[in-house]
Structure 1
Amino acid sequence: MAGFGPNEWLVEEMYQQYISSPDSVDEAWHEFFADYSPAGSGSSSPNDAPEQSQPVKSNGAAPPSPATAPAASAPSAAPAQASPPPVTPPSAPAASPPASSAPPRQPDRAAVTPPASAGPPAPARNPEQPKPAPLSRDRSQTSSPTPQSADGATSMKLRGAAARVVANMESSLEVPTATSVRAVPAKLIADNRIVINNHLRRSRGGKVSFTHLIGYALVKALESFPEMNTAFGQVEGKPALITPQHVNLGLAIDLHKDDGSRQLVVASVKGCEGMDFAAFWSAYEEIIKRARSGKLTADDFAGTTISLTNPGTLGTNHSVPRLMAGQGAILGVGAMEYPAEFQGMSEEMLAEIALSKTITLTSTYDHRIIQGAQSGDFLRRMHQLLLGEDGFYDEVFSSLRIPYEPVRWVTDVTIRHEGQIDKNARVIELIDAYRTNGHLMADTDPLEFKVRTHPDLDIIQHGLTLWDLDRVFPVGGFAGEATMSLRDILGVLRNSYCRTVGVEYKHITDPEERGWLQKRIEVKHDVADVREQKHILGRLNAAEAFETFLQTKYVGQKRFSLEGAESVIPLLDAVLQKAAEYALDEVAIGMPHRGRLNVLANVMGKSYGKIFAEFEGNMDTGTVQGSGDVKYHLGASGVFNHPERNSAVRVSLSSNPSHLEAVNPVLEGIVRAKQDLINKGEGGFTVMPVLMHGDSAFAGQGVVA
């Protein structure tokens, strides 16, 4: 049981539940519990013997009683075929040993080799006997109330899991520990976490917590101080220093039980030393997920070499956690708060004076193998990493494929000299840099071969620092606002220019045209409402269902599938909705072969019957002897009806016989001719061309219009 450390109580609780109802325990534990014997038990059913009062040692453990040992093993002597008659226990309890007699001396468990078998096999269960009920989660299973004492106080005996927690805590007292404490500025951690999570929210999803970053800093700090990942042990009865092969980081997880109580388990992430941050984050989240769902296995509990606990999530400012045997150190993380004397200040004043929140780190270590200087240097190394030294955040951003420069730890610049550029002007300069070069950092490479960055988009290049992120600057109408914080300015700029759409327009010489584009590009990101999200999902489902059917029904036929680019359908749907709202006369589309059949079916309204007939090889009866062209070259025309408004717009798709997309300049000529025929003058360009590029354009071939 020593391998489970602080989780021994949970393992024993699960074992008792397994004995009562094996099906109520995850199958991953069945093999482990098949030959498992609880610590200190010498029989399979100790509860069969009547209770007997025993003197209690100072650590709460009762000495073995010769009178009860035979009784506990007596049932195993009976043959399995015969069921013994029920035995009525004596009306009077067994006599306690005399008070003057000292309890027999307990042998040292560390010096005694346990027997190969934990005890005789359990008696066979009668198949007609009803199955025991699952182990209850009530507190009554772990405690037993006793009558009140003379002064009115009540006492409660701790049993089961609660008693195991007591035993674990008492055994931890045998480890001589000391604790080092260090306060770390938390602003850089918080600012980089905001950048990371904003990017994840708009791309792959997920969320990085402070504990993820601190835990990874702990793993990286162990590279400089591997002695913190050691343990004390005994080899042949003599003290020894044990150096594990890997870094197995134990995570203290606070679980809420159904009855309102809480339990603490420590599961470990194995082999952390070989992970980058993305792998560490994924493994960490997998452990938490399995802990919340009750899917942890024995391997998750065993082998922890160093632990991390974060009571700061509950507001605890400073913690000295217990260090269990088998580990050399445990790191405690405190709450992230402003110093107490500044907590009455407004957020604006705190930003103005460049005051950071702090977070307290504690290193509780085994003083037999780790000295105070080593623990202090270890915390100093973590301090350095959390302030971004040695490219810590660069590595984090790179592993998550985030294109932005991390926020850097620099000194705040508040002194103004004559001739120095004001920070307000530097903010306007930063906005112009994103308008000019933001498209160079846009995520437009579907292969994600290289993360694109640009030095002109780093705030440090413009004389701004992390201390300016929460300060408010005048922006002159940028994003429809008169003033904005630098953090909000960067959010709008990155959402507008550096996401999945690259916009380049600064070469336009007409300031009115540039302003028209800026007004529509530089807007705050709004999440679509539920109704719109459901509509988009419906269009995606229609595109996916169409491709799935063709792939299943017409295996091997050339069709230029839209698989992987189904978002084209809701994108065209949104364009046509806007065209209908603005009462345009027509939308003319030119596109490659890829996805043409899907567009014909789900945008143009071409019937499925006609498309399937073309797959069957049937001739088009509408033309003399058929058109002779293949199905993915054909065009069509129809009417698009707005899904919510009483409006519609004509839509046409031009035929395209060439995979080099020669249709693009042809379509522009078609649109110009239609506009001339309508002849509404300068204000009447009501035929809108929509050009789409395909595979060859991605490779740099074909016509780019």
Structure 2
Amino acid sequence: DFPNMNSAYAEVDGKPVHIQPEHVNFGLAIDLPKPDGSRSLVVASIKAAEEMDFAGFWAGYEDIIRRARANKLTMEDFTGTTISLTNPGTIGTNHSVPRLTAGQGAIIGVGAMEYPAEFQGMNPDALTEMAVSKTITLTSTYDHRIIQGAESGDFLRRLHALLLGEDGFYDDVFRSLRIPYTPVRWMPDVRITREGQIDKEARVIEVIEAYRRNGHLMADTDPLEYKVRTHPDLDILEHGLTLWDLDRKFPVGGFAGERLMALRDILGVLRNSYCRTVGVEYMHITDPEEREWLQQRIEVKHEQPEREKQKHVLGRLNAAEAFETFLQTKYVGQKRFSLEGGESVIPILDEVLIAGTDHGLDEVAIGMAHRGRLNVLANVLGKSYAKIFGEFEGNMDPGSVQGSGDVKYHLGATGTFRNPFKPDAEIAVSLASNPSHLETVNPVLEGIVRAKQDMIDKGEGGFTVLPVLLHGDSAFAGQGVVAETLNLSQLRGYRTGGTVHVVINNQVGFTTSPAAARSSLYST
């Protein structure tokens, strides 16, 4: 927008020359402390910065800083700088007027980000209530021989507008960094000025309810496609709230275990709960007690799993990945129904089985179609690799009904699962045999489970055999037997106390894309 700010004054043969460089080589003034306590200043430049998006510029910035601190800058890094930025604000300076360097027409100074002096003695809560924010001072030292004062002032005005988000500046930054959300918008504070207006406390409750209802629409559940995820119901501006309300505290009535929370923290819990890589849709449930039970487990402040837990999940993923990679390498051309892309189902099943041991269940019974069956047999039920590989090599049980080469994907098994965190805790686990017809195993498994529960005979509290059904996304949406089985779930003669359903969505229903496979947003 202002190419002249990137120009320079020089003299050639005693005559003044206006130099217009081909690129913006953006210099960074880097303060480096020395071992003896003194400091040195170096100015290295990011070459051709105007050709970069924000992600590229950030990577270049980090590279320059890292190499400067490691004393690994080269002469190339120091040459050709056309405009510089210095940041005395890092040591608390409000603003400064730095001196120009030969070959540059301007240097931009960045001051400290602080509250205006007249507000610095105020209570932080009062500042928040009054919508007083920190400010930052930018200065432009320019060569008056080639740059006019109005031009420099207009340049600073443009910087001010961009930093407030004009012309989609932060949208471009988010897009470059592949942040799938819309940025917070700058706008004036909204005040409740007259009787009859809905107060902000009520609007915050509206926001919480909106996330509970539609937060799943912003969840990142598609690893194959990047897109900005937004929904008008989840935009605080639509609820009469602004960025000035982010640090104000509002009564939340026990939300996330708190009575009062800042809007920023409320949104943090809501986004972590509903809009990250897990979407939860449950507000259609008519029983308020059930909804509250779910909310108490969903709306919690994010906590990192313990290191041992993380290592265990990684080990399960590695085992699932290594199994499929070996089969693909060893048995090239063999018909396979791979779990590739859905390996996370192994740690999911692992977690279900661990919970089964924690709650004293007698057995977990699994039903599934072909895809991933061998992986489940090996890594969940503990079927030996030798036996599975032998089936690939044609060593089938002569007593079994022979098929078309995919018989191994029809076979069931039984085993014992041991809780890796409680060595003495174990549970029986079984996988039902399965015909070729997708989802036919659903009512069969429910019948097996109900029969086992009846034999155990613990009465109303006797749902100690847990059914787990694995589905493909297209089959779940397309096969009528799925809905028929679900409709039996609450009937006294058929109920099993609930089923865990895991739908593996690889976005390809044999040869069909989701857009051509169903009318609903989700396959469920």
TM range (shorter): 0.7 to 0.9
Indicate the percent of aligned positions where both proteins have the same amino acid: 75
TM-score by length of 2: 0.84
For residue 437 of structure 1, report the CA deviation from its aligned partner. Answer: 1.0
For residue 339 of structure 1, report the CA deviation from its aligned partner. Answer: 2.5
506 and 415 in structure 1: CA distance in 2 versus 1, 3 angstrom threshold: closer
Aligned counterpart, 1:370: 147
Structure-1 separation of matches of 2:439 and 2:121 = 65
User: Aligned match of 2:387 in 591, 610, 616?
Assistant: 610
SS in 2 for 1:337: coil
For residue 256 of structure 1, report the CA deviation from its aligned partner. Answer: 4.7
Which one-letter code corresponds to 2:386 in the other structure?
G
Aligned counterpart, 2:465: 687
Which one-letter code corresponds to 1:323 in the other structure?
L
Whether 1:288 and 2:65 are equivalent positions in the alignment is: yes
Structure-2 separation of matches of 1:415 and 1:631 = 68
Aligned counterpart, 2:428: 650
Aligned counterpart, 1:517: 294
Which residues in structure 2 correspond to 1:172-321 (within 5 Å)?
224-256=1-33, 262-321=39-98
Aligned counterpart, 1:137: none
For residue 231 of structure 1, report the CA deviation from its aligned partner. Answer: 1.2
484 and 684 in structure 1: CA distance in 2 versus 1, 3 angstrom threshold: farther
Pair member with larger Rg: 1
Whether 1:599 and 2:386 are equivalent positions in the alignment is: no
SS in 2 for 1:538: helix
Structure-2 separation of matches of 1:315 and 1:556 = 67
Does the 8 Å CA contact 2:140/2:156 hold for their aligned counterparts?
yes
Structure-2 separation of matches of 1:324 and 1:301 = 12
Whether 1:554 and 2:335 are equivalent positions in the alignment is: no
302 and 510 in structure 1: CA distance in 2 versus 1, 3 angstrom threshold: same
Structure-2 separation of matches of 1:486 and 1:456 = 16
SS in 2 for 1:359: coil
Unaligned runs of at least 5 residues, structure 1: 1-223
Structure-1 separation of matches of 2:401 and 2:469 = 31
Structure-1 separation of matches of 2:388 and 2:112 = 63
Q: CA deviation digits over 1:489-537, x for unaligned, max 9?
A: 1011111111111111111112122112212111111011222222223
Aligned counterpart, 1:87: none
Aligned counterpart, 1:544: 321
524 and 659 in structure 1: CA distance in 2 versus 1, 3 angstrom threshold: farther
Moved more, 487-496 or 653-662: 653-662
Whether 1:500 and 2:500 are equivalent positions in the alignment is: no
Aligned counterpart, 2:157: 380
For residue 257 of structure 1, report the CA deviation from its aligned partner. Answer: 5.3
TM-score by length of 1: 0.63
SS in 1 for 2:137: strand
Does the 8 Å CA contact 2:217/2:279 hold for their aligned counterparts?
yes
Q: Which has the higher contact order (CA 8 A, sep 6+)?
A: 1
Which residues in structure 2 correspond to 1:630-645 (within 5 Å)?
630-645=407-422
Structure-2 separation of matches of 1:261 and 1:613 = 71
Whether 1:406 and 2:183 are equivalent positions in the alignment is: yes
Does the 8 Å CA contact 1:393/1:406 hold for their aligned counterparts?
yes
Moved over 4 A (4+): 256-262, 624-629, 659-662, 701-705
User: Aligned match of 1:571 in 331, 342, 348?
Assistant: 348
Which residues in structure 2 correspond to 1:98-113 (within 5 Å)?
none
SS in 1 for 2:112: strand
Structure-2 separation of matches of 1:246 and 1:283 = 15
For residue 654 of structure 1, report the CA deviation from its aligned partner. Answer: 3.0
For residue 465 of structure 1, report the CA deviation from its aligned partner. Answer: 0.9
561 and 255 in structure 1: CA distance in 2 versus 1, 3 angstrom threshold: farther
Structure-2 separation of matches of 1:686 and 1:231 = 80
598 and 309 in structure 1: CA distance in 2 versus 1, 3 angstrom threshold: farther
Aligned counterpart, 1:358: 135
Aligned counterpart, 2:263: 486
Does the 8 Å CA contact 2:180/2:227 hold for their aligned counterparts?
no
Which one-letter code corresponds to 1:653 in the other structure?
L
Aligned counterpart, 1:29: none
For residue 236 of structure 1, report the CA deviation from its aligned partner. Answer: 4.4
Q: What is the alpha-carbon root mean square deviation over aligned residues?
A: 2.7
665 and 246 in structure 1: CA distance in 2 versus 1, 3 angstrom threshold: farther
Q: Give the number of aligned pairs.
A: 481
Structure-2 separation of matches of 1:374 and 1:406 = 30
Does the 8 Å CA contact 1:543/1:602 hold for their aligned counterparts?
yes
SS in 2 for 1:336: coil
Q: CA deviation digits over 1:404-452, x for unaligned, max 9?
A: 3321112222343110001100000111111111111111112125332
SS in 2 for 1:358: coil
Structure-2 separation of matches of 1:450 and 1:643 = 38
Moved more, 314-323 or 466-475: 314-323
SS in 2 for 1:601: helix
SS in 2 for 1:402: coil
Structure-1 separation of matches of 2:78 and 2:443 = 66
Aligned counterpart, 2:235: 458
Unaligned runs of at least 5 residues, structure 2: 475-504, 508-512
Which residues in structure 2 correspond to 1:36-47 (within 5 Å)?
none
Q: CA deviation digits over 1:309-345, x for unaligned, max 9?
A: 2222222322323321111111121221222343333
User: Aligned match of 1:336 in 113, 121, 124?
Assistant: 113
